[in-house]
Chain A
């Protein structure tokens, strides 16, 4: 999920960002999860067959710059507002996974003038339960060795996605990407842990269709959370994929891609 750099580098909002731009068609912004993504990400590949996909590494992730003043999710949201304006993206589909789903939801609450549809995959970002119940596992209290078993339904797939956790066999550039991603997700998500207490009450502002898509065996955020997330939107629908964990979209890529493309291809009652 982190080993290979993305092919392109651009200056966005005054800072260097690595990204992948692929495919033709309606614009689609892909916002990756906290552990990053590979240039051959299967969902990105599937979506790029129908859409023009813009997939950057968030500031602080991969090889994208993270100046000191950029230290909150709100800063990332402003960064993506800038990116959307700079590339003049309109009628935009925003797809976010996990932490990227949080960013997608935040972005949409800032106004959906340029956004057509939203897809949140095993997203974090909101708080539903009371003060003594966590909705989201405290990933910062877990070890690197726990990642494959915790984030994936099938630990073996998780191990492959993380290079077998054989960091010694990796280049220093790759372990640097891994360490940067880990530091940045902590910077942005430390406390409150991976949510914004204000976000839930702002979701009503999202007037476009939203697909909330979940791995049925997500151990980081349960399916019940996904269902509540979907219900919090004006036009939210919830779907889940069996045999898939928090990063289930890498375990059942065809099923996730099919669910997303079907949602995107279906004309929603709210679209005129």
Chain B
């Protein structure tokens, strides 16, 4: 198993002052520049420590959000490309449907890959529904736009020789000529996020890494669809490193320490979903059939991350939302959840969330790196062997 340190770069000191939505409409006076300056640098320091501890690095972006001040995942990665030494650098991802210019996305990706000496991992995402308010890009036909941007970026990064032109439905370029070419040839590894089996199958056909976030019980059907489609397309079983999962992770030496840290990260679960209702699912973001069924059934998405009311720590671990415990407990929780999903190869760890301090975050990472990671690596290695042997 590989481990990816993730943090949303939140403006958590302002949370208690914010009443109502934490994104889109939230007053930007809550974002004090001096506080933001300290926080950005703190979060970057934590990624640099993660690098030293053997973690890989995962960054994201959101817009107009008190929960995530990273306005560009590629800006964050550009800094880390220079400042870190070993970690793989994952943007998950570039919200290409928000970007008017995928050519520039390709150039920036290539530059990060070259500066880092080939450590870039590319994630292209659909963008969150509420981000379209800021980017002003249309929710209608968003996936058609996504796939054209994807196809363009892949071609722009892999093309060699004379410039090419692109006259698509959504993007037009007369002279595509990406300098530099990526360090990793033909191109850096690709990731896509999914929550449902239809997207999962498409990702399997492409053979990309599939990541899913806080997906709980939805994970196994998603992974199963990927495995089925991967085998059909590629004629062999999908290796375990194709499967990534994001959850919150809290580690402590004893129960008291664990509970203290859980108390600090839990507000994330309350603050993160506070989206203005009008922007939670603009028309077009999901297809008509899905929206019509949701209206008809009255069910408009997972409430409370799919958890019961007042979830216990065990509920949260079993639901794949928060793994919290001593190193032994964490190992057990993660193995159990991974087994239930059919094997997770890449654990994306939201190890800094809420009010967890720098020292506590670093301590969690150190404990995990020393006492949990080696055992989980061995678990995943054996699990992958099982997969390969079962195929033979």
A residues with a Cβ closer than 8 A to B are 68, 71, 140-143, 145-146, 167-168, 170-172, 175-176, 178-180, 182-187, 190-191
**CB atoms of B288 and A179 under 8 A apart:** yes
**CB atoms of B278 and A143 under 8 A apart:** yes
Proximity bits, B126-160, A CB within 8 Å = 1, else 0? 00000001001011110010000000000000000
Of A175, A183, A186, which one neighbours B295 at CB under 8 angstroms?
Answer: A175
**A140 contact set on B, CB distance < 8 A:** 278, 282-283
**CB atoms of B297 and A183 under 8 A apart:** no
**B277 contact set on A, CB distance < 8 A:** 143, 145
**CB atoms of B292 and A175 under 8 A apart:** yes
Q: How many Å lie between the Cα of A168 and that of B296 in the bound state?
A: 5
Closest 7 CB pairs of A and B: A187-B140, A167-B295, A182-B283, A176-B292, A179-B291, A175-B295, A175-B292
Q: Would you give the shortest CB distance from A169 to chain B, in whole angstroms?
A: 9
Q: Would you give the shortest CB distance from A145 to chain B, in whole angstroms?
A: 8
Of B138, B289, B291, B298, which one neighbours A187 at CB under 8 angstroms?
Answer: B138
Q: Assuming A140-B282, A167-B298, A171-B296, what are 12 further A-B pairs, CB within 8 angstroms?
A: A167-B296, A168-B297, A178-B292, A179-B283, A179-B288, A182-B291, A183-B284, A185-B283, A186-B139, A186-B284, A187-B140, A190-B139
Q: How many Å lie between the Cα of A248 and that of B214 in the bound state?
A: 46
Proximity bits, B253-294, A CB within 8 Å = 1, else 0? 000000000000000000000000111001110001101110
**CB atoms of B282 and A178 under 8 A apart:** no
CB within 8 Å for A180 and B133 given contacts A143-B278, A172-B296: no
Q: How many Å lie between the Cα of A228 and that of B268 in the bound state?
A: 49
Interface residues in B284-328 (C-beta closer than 8 Å to A):
284, 288-289, 291-293, 295-298
CB within 8 Å for A191 and B136 given contacts A168-B297, A176-B289, A186-B283: yes
**A167 contact set on B, CB distance < 8 A:** 295-296, 298
**CB atoms of A186 and B133 under 8 A apart:** no
Mind listing 19 A-B residue pairs with CB under 8 Å?
A: A68-B144, A141-B133, A141-B279, A142-B278, A145-B277, A167-B296, A168-B298, A170-B295, A170-B296, A172-B292, A175-B292, A176-B292, A178-B292, A178-B295, A183-B140, A183-B284, A186-B282, A187-B284, A190-B140
What bracket does the count of chain B residues touching chain A fall in?
A: 20 to 34
Q: How many Å lie between the Cα of A183 and that of B293 in the bound state?
A: 14
CB within 8 Å for A179 and B292 given contacts A143-B278, A186-B284, A191-B136: yes
B residues with a Cβ closer than 8 A to A are 133, 136, 138-141, 144, 277-279, 282-284, 288-289, 291-293, 295-298
Total A-B contacts with CB atoms under 8 angstroms apart:
69
**A185 contact set on B, CB distance < 8 A:** 283
**CB atoms of B288 and A180 under 8 A apart:** yes
Q: How many Å lie between the Cα of A223 and that of B292 in the bound state?
A: 34
Task: Name the CB-closest residue of A to B136.
Answer: A191
**CB atoms of A191 and B283 under 8 A apart:** no
Q: Would you give the shortest CB distance from B350 to chain A, in whole angstroms?
A: 29
**B136 contact set on A, CB distance < 8 A:** 191
Q: How many Å lie between the Cα of A187 and that of B144 in the bound state?
A: 13
**CB atoms of B279 and A186 under 8 A apart:** no
**A184 contact set on B, CB distance < 8 A:** 140
Q: How many Å lie between the Cα of A180 and that of B292 in the bound state?
A: 8
Q: How many Å lie between the Cα of A82 and that of B189 in the bound state?
A: 49
**B278 contact set on A, CB distance < 8 A:** 140-143, 146
Q: How many Å lie between the Cα of A71 and that of B145 in the bound state?
A: 13
Q: How many Å lie between the Cα of A146 and that of B138 in the bound state?
A: 21
Q: Would you give the shortest CB distance from A47 to chain B, in whole angstroms?
A: 30
CB within 8 Å for A187 and B295 given contacts A143-B278, A180-B288: no
**CB atoms of A187 and B292 under 8 A apart:** no
Q: Would you give the shortest CB distance from B279 to chain A, in whole angstroms?
A: 7
**CB atoms of B141 and A186 under 8 A apart:** no
Q: Would you give the shortest CB distance from B254 to chain A, in whole angstroms?
A: 47
Q: How many Å lie between the Cα of A71 and that of B53 in the bound state?
A: 51
Q: How many Å lie between the Cα of A53 and that of B286 in the bound state?
A: 35
**B140 contact set on A, CB distance < 8 A:** 71, 183-184, 186-187, 190
Q: Would you give the shortest CB distance from B92 to chain A, in whole angstroms?
A: 27
**A186 contact set on B, CB distance < 8 A:** 138-140, 282-284
**A141 contact set on B, CB distance < 8 A:** 133, 278-279
**CB atoms of B138 and A190 under 8 A apart:** yes
Q: Would you give the shortest CB distance from A167 to chain B, in whole angstroms?
A: 4
Q: How many Å lie between the Cα of A240 and that of B141 in the bound state?
A: 37
Q: Would you give the shortest CB distance from A134 to chain B, in whole angstroms?
A: 14
**CB atoms of B138 and A191 under 8 A apart:** yes
**CB atoms of B295 and A179 under 8 A apart:** yes
Q: Would you give the shortest CB distance from B290 to chain A, in whole angstroms?
A: 8
Of B141, B282, B297, which one neighbours A71 at CB under 8 angstroms?
Answer: B141
Q: How many Å lie between the Cα of A186 and that of B296 in the bound state?
A: 21
Q: How many Å lie between the Cα of A68 and that of B143 in the bound state?
A: 12
Q: How many Å lie between the Cα of A132 and that of B144 in the bound state?
A: 31
Q: Would you give the shortest CB distance from A207 to chain B, in whole angstroms?
A: 35
**B291 contact set on A, CB distance < 8 A:** 175, 179, 182-183
**B293 contact set on A, CB distance < 8 A:** 172, 175
Q: Would you give the shortest CB distance from B109 to chain A, in whole angstroms?
A: 27
Looking at A172, A175, A178, A179, the one whose CB has the most chain B CB atoms below 10 A away is A179
